[in-house]
Structure 1
Amino acid sequence: MKASKFIGMTVLDNDAKEAGKIAELEIKLKHCLVDKIWVATGSALNKKYFSVKEEDLDKIGDYVQLKLNGKEIDQKTKVNKLGELAETGSLFKDIVGKTVLTCDAMDVGKVGDMLIDPKGCLIHNVLISTGPAFRKKHLVVSDEDVHSFGDYVILKMSKEDVNKRITD
């Protein structure tokens, strides 16, 4: 599942009552893991966020169902802003748009999305968009293709290797 499609899904407690919507993913890129899933509750003017981990997830389909009941959700620490408890630069929105470079420092494109397994909290692939706006092409890389994540994403691949794997 694309991370961008997972964000926005409705979250239910174990009593099938709406608990909120997926607001953001906190990611540990070096380990290819989704560390926390941030859920938004409340109205647009009074939004609060709480996080859940893999062990709190029960089922994922058209909705995300938690193993927690309403009382347990109410007891979770809630914050007014996502950045209050999340590590700097670890949110999905911070990673999308990062510039991707080859091992020989050539610009490949930008991180466009990620393919995740929400139930296992794993990141399977990173989707990279490359090329001009009207003729965008895509490159799918796995954790084995990535040398390092930081201000930039550096691949273990050369420009020739990248060109062989780019698709429309």
Structure 2
Amino acid sequence: MSSVLASGLLCGLWAFIAPFIGLLTWAGFAGCTTFFAIGNSGVTGLVKAMLCNITGFGCGLLIIWLSNIIAIPQSAAIFSGIVTSLMCLIGKLKMINYVPGIFIGCFSTFAANGNWLVLLFSLLSGVVLGYLCSQLAKEFSNWHVKRTEKRHNLT
């Protein structure tokens, strides 16, 4: 229950604040998703999610760049296939071995319509959002345990 409350509170706050500070709400949720999907709610998960999203972001830019400079029919499809294979291979590296997180960074790059710097900050802010949700959930849980123990000690 504490994770539900923490996530609802912080994600609602993110959805309210992100547009005011010029960030992409949806991309923040994509970064947050990467953090939670990795399954490690600590700093290691935070770093891994960021590295996966950054790697995917770079792969998306690579596909776009190659497609623009090498003018052949279906270049976007060809380079998407080649770079997808690359993403799967580099996903074998320990600190970026969550391939879906790499894909999230990549497909988000296509969806950003050239607003790449804002996208990168939004993705990384979303990863931090996920981390903060998990930390706040722990705090809520600790508070509840202490409150319950105090109530039992009074009876």
Would you tell me which structure has more strand in proportion to its own residues?
Answer: 1
The TM-score normalised by the length of structure 2 is 0.28
The TM-score normalised by the length of structure 1 is 0.27
- Structure of greater relative contact order (alpha carbons < 8 Å, 6+ residues apart): 2
- Which one has a bigger Cα radius of gyration? 2
Would you tell me which structure has more helix in proportion to its own residues?
Answer: 2
